[in-house]
Structure 1
């Protein structure tokens, strides 16, 4: 392996300010600020706006698209599937 070709890979603390959550991992990210971790050692800290602790998808607060309501509205507007399965003539709009 060639020396001095890869960036420094070291322990870093990422802190989610929105959730008040921090985790220690290895990264190439750098920071001038440090934080003392549970093991008593000091690590660089990188503040992030969002992580898995505060992201709506992972917390279960994500909004889901109402596909059933959209399908029902489409069927009401353009003649639902109960008319024999055929399409309407005249550009697809009801008369």
Structure 2
């Protein structure tokens, strides 16, 4: 299951819950979590993936870690531009 930290499921990624099943001989599984791409310039944000309830069915199974921290690196860039302008000093002001 995912859990919010600085990133939240309402704006930054899609919540994920479910069960991972390892067949005999499996060493790893993949969890796919959709990231929401926005046009907002943001700091890097994190969320968690937790594996809370391990059921081994009597087998010799050891998990090295039951929690992963996922970091979303923002790919949007802030930009500012200033255009040069020329004005007659008797005109008063420029916008």
> What's the TM-score bracket when you normalise by the shorter of the two chains?
under 0.3
TM-score for the superposition, normalised by structure 2: 0.22
Greater strand content: 1
**TM-score of the superposed pair, with normalisation by structure 1:** 0.22
Asked which structure has the greater CA Rg, the reply is 1
Greater fraction of residues in helix: 1
